[in-house]
Amino acid sequence: MSPTSDLLATALAQSGFHPRLSQQRRLYEAAKAAIHQQRLGAGSKLPSSRDLARDLGIARNTVIAAFEQLAAEGYVITSKGSGTYVADLQAHSASMRGVGSAPQGRTASRTAPDVRLSRRGQELTSYAAGPQFEIQPFAPGDPDFSSFPFKLWQRLQNRVWREARNDLLDYGQSGGHLPLRQAITEYLRISRSVKVEVEQVIITAGTQQSLDLCAQLLADAGDTAWVEDPCYWGARRVFQARELKLRPITVDSDGMALSDKDLATKPRLIYVTPSHQYPTGAVMSLARRRELLEVAVRKDAWILEDDYDSEFRYTGRPLAALQGLDNDDRVLYMGTFSKVLYPGIKVGYLVVPPALIPAFRSALYDLQRPGQLTVQATLTDFITYGHFTTHVRKIRQTYGARRELLRRMLARALPASVTISKEESGLHLVVELPDSVDDVALAQRAAALDISVKALSTYYLKPQVRRGLLVGYAYCTPEQITDYGRQLGAIIAAEVQA
């Protein structure tokens, strides 16, 4: 047996291949590994297929097929009459780089890949306020997954699949599944006072994607976006990624409060959460809504209205959307099923002014190739058969009770210098702390007890911040709220009184 046959025989015996791997593939893999490891050096001659087949006790055709594969991938060179030789891989890669051939048989020093991010990538990853997704007591924003009607959803989904509709397997076109757009149109007209025709509704993969589309289509790099301060980090991220200049606008109890200095600037986009400011919970007053609409017209700007959790209003009637007051087609309205169903569903909607319909539809298609039409069809049935309304009513009741319990537990423990947000909506409470309290350190102390609250100060862009904690309650059981609420109340009280 030649030394090369011997080497390949040993490699085959020691390789631990999957039992179902063919002989041809084993031989190919063993030879390839030997060439990479330079146990078979460049220029060495392989045995003839007949000799190797005999030495290894396999069919000659198997050897020929393995050699052909190695030759096709450039590991060996076969020349008629003179045999098969191991190719000089380094010479090949060096010549590809245009630096001449490396010495034969020596391991070329390997350069690590250049993992430097783009300028934009570096900037994006440098922002500290990224999400922490752990599902722990009091993490703000998460709905109660256990109240999702799994069985019902499964039944509706099965029915969609049973219909075996080819059209639902395609990409989504024309802004998404038409029956879902019709159902959303009706819902928005009745529940949110949105002025909308079905053509204006575009199904997206959630608000994050809606915001990104708006930023890409309506603003250029360097344009200014007015954002609420404090602000939803997801919106901030999108605008930063699209290289917009952010102008933080102070939020007070009536929502975004424009100063004369702000009014001297020219925004292209204005991002607001008027129904329930994120994260403070302020509701934008009617006067401010009117002012904002006027300013948008005057400045030739677009208002992006993020109506992310309007379904959760625990007392009184739901508040109407800002879009419903807009007579000048200045508002792009966006909603999501992340909160009211589950975040991973990744279905949201954007209502665009009529003049923008073609641009948004075609950009969505070109950039994202939207799909998930079977999910959209299931969701349509969920809404049109009345399950959505029932589900919202049920979880609203559950969350309302949990909110009250959390408020009671905290109020019992907290001194008078600490206030708990009073407005009656959303999925979290804001515990407002005196300026002297380091809310980031307090959140870290809570994390050590497996309590996941967020520091209010981290949502601000400007240096003058309010201190506080965002405490979510939606998915906590009453027992958890009682237990963890007591613990959280105790550490806040200790910090404030220290």
Ligand X SMILES: Cc1ncc(COP(=O)(O)O)c(C=O)c1O
Which of 223, 229, 305, 306 forms a contact with ligand X (CB under 6 A)? Answer: 306
Of 24, 136, 273, 280, the residue at the interface with ligand X (CB under 6 A) is: 273
Among 28, 239, 271, 278, binds ligand X (CB under 6 A): 278
Radius of gyration from C-alpha coordinates of the chain: 31
Residue closer to ligand X, measured from CB, 208 or 372: 208
Q: Which amino acid is at 143?
A: P
Between 402 and 454, name the residue whose CB sits nearer to ligand X: 454
Cis omega before residue 279 (within 30°)? yes
Mask: binding to ligand X, 231-270, rule CB under 6 A, as x and -?
A: -x-x------------------------------------
Respond yes or no on whether the N-terminal peptide bond of residue 434 is cis (omega within 30° of 0). no
Compute CA distances 453 → 419, 445, 450, 493, whole Å. 16, 10, 10, 15
Tokens coding 444: 């870290």
Residue 121: helix, strand or coil by DSSP?
helix
Number of residues that bind ligand X (CB under 6 A): 14
Stretch that binds ligand X, among 184-192, 259-267, 336-344, 484-492 (CB under 6 A): 336-344
The Cα–Cα gap between 43 and 28 comes to: 18
Q: How many helices (H) and strands (E) does the chain have?
A: 17, 14
Among 348, 426, 468, 489, binds ligand X (CB under 6 A): 348
Selected binder of ligand X within 149, 248, 318, 343 (CB under 6 A): 343
CB of 341 to ligand X, least distance (A): 11
Report the residue from 24, 310, 336, 457 that binds ligand X according to the rule CB under 6 A: 336
47 or 141: CB nearest ligand X:
141
Shortest distance, position 344 Cβ to ligand X, whole Å? 9
**Sequence-separated (6 or more) residues with CB below 8 Å from residue 142:** 135, 343, 427, 472, 474, 475
Task: Please enumerate in sequence order all residues whose Cβ is within 8 A of that of 475, keeping only pairs 6 or more positions apart, or say none.
Answer: 135, 142, 143, 144, 145, 146
Residue 418 contacts residue 434 (beta carbons within 8 Å): yes
Query: Got the DSSP string for 420-440?
Result: E----BSSEEEEEE-TTS-HH
Residue 338 in the binding site for ligand X (CB under 6 A)? yes
Please list every residue from 189 through 218 that binds ligand X, using CB under 6 A: 206-208
**Is 67 or 337 the residue whose CB approaches ligand X more closely?**
337
Cα 151 to Cα 153: distance, rounded to the nearest angstrom: 5
308 binds ligand X (CB under 6 A): yes
Contact string 104-143 vs ligand X (x = CB under 6 A) = -------------------------------------x--
Beta carbon nearer to ligand X, 228 or 326: 228
Q: Looking only at residues 385 through 424 of this chain, which bind ligand X when binding is defined by CB under 6 A? A: none
Q: Which C-beta is closer to ligand X: that of 83 or that of 234?
A: 234
Nearer to ligand X, 187 or 232 (CB): 232
Q: How far apart are CA 488 and CA 42, in angstroms?
A: 68
Does position 426 interact with ligand X (CB under 6 A)? The reply is: no
| Residue 110: Cβ-neighbour burial (10 angstroms; 0-12, 13-18, 19+) | exposed
247/454 with CB nearer ligand X: 454
Q: Would you say 141 or 468 has its CB closer to ligand X?
A: 141
CA 441 centroid distance within chain = 27
Q: Is 432 an interacting residue with respect to ligand X (CB under 6 A)? A: no
Write out the residues near ligand X by the rule CB under 6 A: 141, 206-208, 232, 234, 273, 278, 306, 308, 336, 338, 343, 348
